[in-house]
Amino acid sequence: MRFLTFVLFVLTPSLLHAAPPPAVPAPAKEPEGFVLPTPAERAAAVGDLKGISNTFRPYFQPNDKTEPLPAPQPGDWLAHQPEIHQSFDLFVKQKPNKPNKQRTTIYLLPLNEFDDYTPQLEELRDFLQRYFAMPAKVLPVGTLPLTRITERVNPNTRKKQWLSTDVLRELKPLLPKDAYCMLAVTTTDLYPDPKWNFVFGQATFSDRVGVYSFARFDPAFWRRERTPEERPRMLRRTCQLIAHETGHMFGIRHCVYYRCVMNGSNSQDESDATPLTPCPVCMRKLHWSIGFNPVQREAELAEIYERMGITGESLTDSLP
């Protein structure tokens, strides 16, 4: 069975980050609406930390600067989506995808040329490599022939769009043998179906491929001036999108415990309010999957955030 996930705006400005289905069936009976975790459930969600060194343990424990996810307000993602509480223990039981000796690398595949103002492919490669502590490589532009991709002009924006399902179809046979996953990226807008307005992206987790558009993060898309002050915000939104969606490729569902990069989002404002950093629970999931050194990871991320002009995202600053 092929599983799809969407990151989308429909006809109204509603940003959806759809979670990947678990590899094994979820609990048979889920609540009809979202139920906020109790403090005890939040504390237990990170799992047993026996075997985690004292040096690494603070990265998997909440501290006085770790902000619990508040009760959803009208219009928020969790006001409409009955997400389950995916604790670390449940995550492991669901047998998520993990890198192995054959699947070691995250690939970026640009579908078009990126100009000097848009996120640079080397910046994104470096960010992914540091964020997931795995090798990341950029494939050449032109690897995927665009002649096989359906194109239209969006009736609302009058901008060119590509059909995301066509891109996914063409990506599958291009997946390198050593790929953990492959992310096609573009500065052209996307849509998943003629009835839809647009999507930020779409992925199939069983095939380990996805396609993501940064078009709507660009002020020029909205006919605004491309100023130096706007670029860090565009870069942050871009990094957040690919970190969140690649996190799903590791089987991490939407986080309901703390403010976290894996929080679901129903608007651009709600998305902007979430951090780039995984919360302790989701950091534990990533660490279990990849086995990185969290101290080294944070030091390397701090350097690239500074280079990109992205501020306020250092996890180390919040550690005791």
320 residues of the chain, pLDDT tens digit each: 344 555 543 333 333 334 343 444 444 344 456 788 999 999 999 999 999 999 999 999 999 889 999 999 899 999 988 898 999 999 999 999 899 999 999 999 999 999 999 999 999 999 999 999 999 999 999 999 999 999 999 999 999 999 999 999 999 999 999 999 999 999 999 999 999 999 888 888 778 999 999 999 999 999 999 999 999 999 999 999 999 989 999 999 999 999 999 999 888 889 899 999 999 999 999 999 999 999 999 999 999 999 999 987 765 554 54
Residues 6+ apart with CB under 8 A from 150: 162, 163, 166
The whole-angstrom separation of Cα 96 and Cα 252 is 8
Residue 106's pLDDT is what?
Answer: 97
SS3 165: helix
Rounded to 10 deg, the angle between the 121-132 and 231-249 helix axes is 50
Residue 80's pLDDT is what?
Answer: 87
Residue 314's pLDDT is what?
Answer: 62
Residue 21's pLDDT is what?
Answer: 39
Residues 6+ apart with CB under 8 A from 194: 152
Strands (E), 145-197: 151-153, 160-163, 179-186, 189-191
Would you state the CATH architecture of domain 4-23+37-318? 3-Layer(aba) Sandwich (3.40)
Residue 32's pLDDT is what?
Answer: 56
Cα torsion 211, 216, 221, 226: sign: negative
The secondary structure of residue 68, as a DSSP letter, is B
Cα angle vertex 121, ends 160, 99, to 5°? 110
Residue 239's pLDDT is what?
Answer: 95
**pTM of the predicted structure, to 2 decimals:** 0.86
Strand 160-163 relative to strand 189-191, pairing = parallel
Q: Which residues are known to be catalytic?
A: 245
Residue 33's pLDDT is what?
Answer: 67
Residue 151's pLDDT is what?
Answer: 97
Give the tokens for residue 24. 């094994």
